[in-house]
Structure 1
């Protein structure tokens, strides 16, 4: 916990580019939901709203007035997203402003989550782009009051963030961003994930070109690459990453079952081993899905909380609606469903087939399916 005292700048634990701060009961509830929808935030809120799972979720608690926390966040983060009234924010940040070329972006979100307002460092600090992306992620209205419009292209460090996409590494974010801004040829290869990521009213510029495969992109010899995939890429594809960024969409569902009391460590070891065998990124996992008999299974609850995944359960009747190649009378006898991991994966992913039908190891089983994204493709 962070103890705030006058005249002292506290130490904060920085793991993400942006800080998300709440100081009210409703604000805290929203902040916890926002962190699930927008992957690039470290969450901070007051100790009196502690819920007991903050350590697992990497949420930082503070005791004292938030005014004493902001100087530390101001120095440590690229931007701050504050679920605090606009007037209070203006008063609190005024004494710590330095220069528009150095100050971080500051956003304000109202307590009901209806509006996201760009307050400080809109252009240089990136607050305008963050305002639009964050508002999209939480289904709010963005408020940007800058007179000149921002360049209508891709914000490389926020690409897909509204959908929960994360980049694999930040190493090439700056040079790839430079290629986009300088209108150099940039290849976009999308293998999975949401398709409606271009939301500007104007057409996508000719300098951004979509390729169906990594092979086509390599042949085009672009200046930079945006690669959207849940795969661990092959060695021959690494040339694209000399000036490229990999984005991991939330495209993988883990259907799972386990014996009662199976440890989180055993469950996560099975997940890690299986994803490695299939050459899939753990960052692309969206959810663990299982039968509702397991809704209180501590191993599943701990693993999903630790990884910020959804935990979704289905009734036996819902699972039995899914087609199975190998229905089990034994499983039906004990659960009322003819299978658990296989149908849970298919139903949650809205898929018709598995990447892995079923694997059993020790006390747990796992099935893996890729989510079906049916939006229209970018033209």
Structure 2
């Protein structure tokens, strides 16, 4: 995929609107019928096509994140119907009318970003955005996008549809947020009364609710899963920092085994790991770099002087002789996370030393209608 958006037009007026749109929409490619050629298409990177637009749509559907089509809504629906696979993978599809007055979100409004793209295109064209997704219209929690602006990951998607229905139908919804960014409510109005926020699963035990949104870095117990996920969705905020020290040449396999086993022992989800942290001497350590590539983690590195600013319960003279720092995993975890203490101060396993810290956020729970 070379570009993000394909803009497609098949009428004279549509071509005019489309040419104006791509000039102001970075990452977009323009396609229109060759009978409307003006002679500057090659220089501008515009692709001309002959025959029915239906013939090029399967390729565009596969190659682009979003399609902006200046054709009638009914025609677009008929053409894309055979191409639909899954809401998690289908591209965003947006339709613009032939006068550029309305921009309609047609497909993949949330996960595919069509609603956001619709607003962006409408702003460029000074048109009216048409969005029918209930959570957007009602200005409430979009279950399938909850926390996405912070990088939260949905672990259990199976109940997303009934939980979304509970939210928009104003049933009793409980948000159990044990960690992660608290400022997820995006609207300039109070949280609706039917949505209750609590700061822990324990606090939610005695509550009555019809659906649950669970935001935590913990592995839930079987009883918690049964109670909260029977009609609930589980989100993993990126809040764990792994401070890692290792001997030179330690393999990816050994580091990964230490990480996965330790997180399992602590009952923490690997999906909530935000990054690793270590001493700058290890910034080119192959095993650590391979771990970051495999899981998509960043690596924060600190000088010995920076690490030594952190007070340690058991500073190591041995580590100091080799690195100039009295510790690596423990101070690196605190410096990177901003935490004042560790979930795990230090665990030594073979060639690896691991510490775990939790990124602090203000209290997650909030009162309704604050």
1:1-379 alignment, distance < 5 Å: 21-23=1-3, 71=58, 74=61, 81-82=65-66, 89-90=68-69, 97-99=76-78, 106=92, 121=105, 125-127=108-110, 130=113, 145-147=128-130, 150-238=137-225, 239-374=227-362, 378=366, 379=370
Change (3 A) 1:223 1:156: same
What 5-or-longer segments of structure 2 have no aligned partner? 5-47, 85-89, 95-101
Question: Secondary structure of the equivalent of 2:322?
Answer: helix
Change (3 A) 1:252 1:69: farther
Tell me if structure 1 keeps the 8 A contact 2:341–2:357.
Answer: yes
CA–CA distance in structure 1, aligned partners of residues 312 and 166 of structure 2: 48
What 5-or-longer segments of structure 1 have no aligned partner? 1-20, 25-64, 109-117
Root-mean-square deviation (CA, aligned residues, Å) is 3.7
Change (3 A) 1:314 1:133: farther
CA–CA distance in structure 2, aligned partners of residues 346 and 96 of structure 1: 57
Question: Secondary structure of the equivalent of 1:121?
Answer: strand
Q: Which has the larger radius of gyration?
A: 2
Q: Which TM-score applies when normalising by structure 2?
A: 0.70
Cα deviation code 1:8-54 (max 9, x no counterpart): xxxxxxxxxxxxx4439xxxxxxxxxxxxxxxxxxxxxxxxxxxxxx
Question: Secondary structure of the equivalent of 2:223?
Answer: helix
Report deviation, 1:349. 0.7
Count of residue pairs brought into register by the alignment: 297
CA–CA distance in structure 2, aligned partners of residues 284 and 174 of structure 1: 23
CA–CA distance in structure 1, aligned partners of residues 363 and 352 of structure 2: 34
Report deviation, 1:98. 2.4
Report deviation, 1:70. 6.3
Change (3 A) 1:258 1:81: same
Question: Secondary structure of the equivalent of 2:214?
Answer: strand
